[in-house]
Amino acid sequence: MAEVLDVALRLAVIVIAFLTLPLIVGQTEHKAMAHMQSRLGPMYAGGFHGWAQLIADGVKFVQKEDIIPAAADRRVFALAPAVALVPYLVVMAVIPVGPGLVGADLDAGLFFALAVLGVGVLGSIMAGWSSANKYSVLGGMRSAAQLMAYELPLVLAASSVAMAAGTLSLPGIASAWQWWWLPWQAIGAVVFFVAGLAELRRPPFDMPIADSEIIMGPMTEYTGIRFALFLLSEYVGIVVLSALTTVLFLGGWQGPLLPGPVWTLLKVFALAFVVIWVRVSFPRLRADQLQKLAWVGLVPLALLQLALTGVVKVLLAA
């Protein structure tokens, strides 16, 4: 009985985190971006500085008509937002927030997380293909091409940390982390975070969405709640990427004075803020420029990091 209760409690916490953290990140984006652009952002919904803006948005999206284009592949079209969103929820289950505080402690947690993360992109490709819209097809193709660019550096950078810690378990990596890993794994951290931004299709790597070029790409034909699910998946994605970076490269819950989970959340939000900041500051790259960045820049850097990790590891063992 206690075991069932334990699992139920963990799942409940994950679902709550899944529902609230992205909204907090989204609201932070509204406000931080507004203030960086000398605006106020939402000020009315909910009374205090527009805190309920995203909830109001959600209510609006639910009420809107759900339009499926006549020429669309109906089932794929309807399924795509779920395919985009659910993988992130699943990944959240294996990310530890404190010692022992994890939805499911898998031995190969890192492997699991990266594998599942890749599925999310399928949603975008499915949406692009099934929409029967030329802009969407272009967006879907860009998504697929982008997948080729960032997946390798992402995995290479993550495997460097796994090598350093000698385990694939996410809680294992976080507890093995020591402060001097920060300079040691710095290159890997940057590569992982940049490749992660590309995975999320966030600026400056938002060419599959590119509202001024291909009009939101795969999402062109989506309305109402399905469109909202795509948006939500973007923000859950930010949370997941920030959390993974925290666990792998920033020591997860480790930190002085404050309790572990607080440290995890602080680091996650700091990274999420960087994601937002980057969006405000940078123009968009071109698809082929991302490919170049990935293959000429990120992959060699990730390999360098891998070699560095190996050498230090051998020297330490000797």
Partner 1 sequence: MTEPRTGAAGTERVVAVGAGAKELATEDMILNIGPQHPSTHGVLRLRLTVDGERITAAEPVVGYMHRGAEKLFEVRDYRQIIVLANRHDWLSAFANELGVVLAVERMLGMEVPVRAVWARTLLAELNRVLNHLMFLGSYPLELGAITPVFYAFRERETLQAVMEEISGGRMHYMFNRVGGLKEDLPYGWLGRVTEAVAEVRKRLPDLEELIYGNEIFLARTRGVGVLDRETIMQYGVSGPIARAAGVDLDLRRDEPYLAYGELPVQVVTRTAGDCHARFEVLLDQVKASLDLADACVERLRSLPPGPVNQRLPKVLKVPEGHTYAWTENPLGLNGYYLVSRGEKTPWRLKLRSASYNNVQVLREMLPGHLIADMVAILGSMFFVVGDIDK
Q: Is 289 in the site for partner 1 (CB under 8 A)?
A: yes
Q: Is 158 in the site for partner 1 (CB under 8 A)?
A: no
Question: Looking only at residues 15 through 54 of this chain, which bind partner 1 when binding is defined by CB under 8 A?
Answer: 33, 36-39
Tell me the closest approach of the beta carbon of residue 31 to partner 1, in angstroms.
Answer: 15
- Do residues 220 and 59 make contact, with C-beta atoms less than 8 angstroms apart? no
Bridge partners (DSSP) of residue 101 are 98
Question: Looking only at residues 213 through 252 of this chain, which bind partner 1 when binding is defined by CB under 8 A?
Answer: 213-215
Whichever of 33 and 308 has its CB closer to partner 1, that residue is 33
For partner 1, the binding residue among 85, 200, 207, 240 (CB under 8 A) is: 207
Q: CA 49 to CA 182: how far, in whole Å?
A: 37
Judged by CB under 8 A, the stretch of 123-131, 248-256, 285-293, 306-314 that binds partner 1 is 285-293
For partner 1, the binding residue among 10, 49, 284, 313 (CB under 8 A) is: 284
Whichever of 179 and 282 has its CB closer to partner 1, that residue is 282
Cα Rg, the chain, nearest whole Å: 20
For partner 1, the binding residue among 78, 266, 274, 285 (CB under 8 A) is: 285
Whichever of 38 and 63 has its CB closer to partner 1, that residue is 38
CA nearest to 26, candidates 303, 265, 236, 225: 236
Q: CA 208 to CA 206: how far, in whole Å?
A: 6
CA nearest to 109, candidates 174, 197, 13: 174
Tell me the closest approach of the beta carbon of residue 134 to partner 1, in angstroms.
Answer: 5
Burial label for 77, CB within 10 Å (0-12, 13-18, 19+), is buried
For partner 1, the binding residue among 60, 64, 75, 286 (CB under 8 A) is: 286
Q: Is 63 in the site for partner 1 (CB under 8 A)?
A: no
The encoded tokens of residue 97 equal 């927030």
**Binding letters toward partner 1, positions 130-149, x by CB under 8 A:** ----x---x--x--------
Residues that bind partner 1 (CB under 8 A): 33, 36-39, 134, 138, 141, 203-204, 206-207, 210-215, 279-289
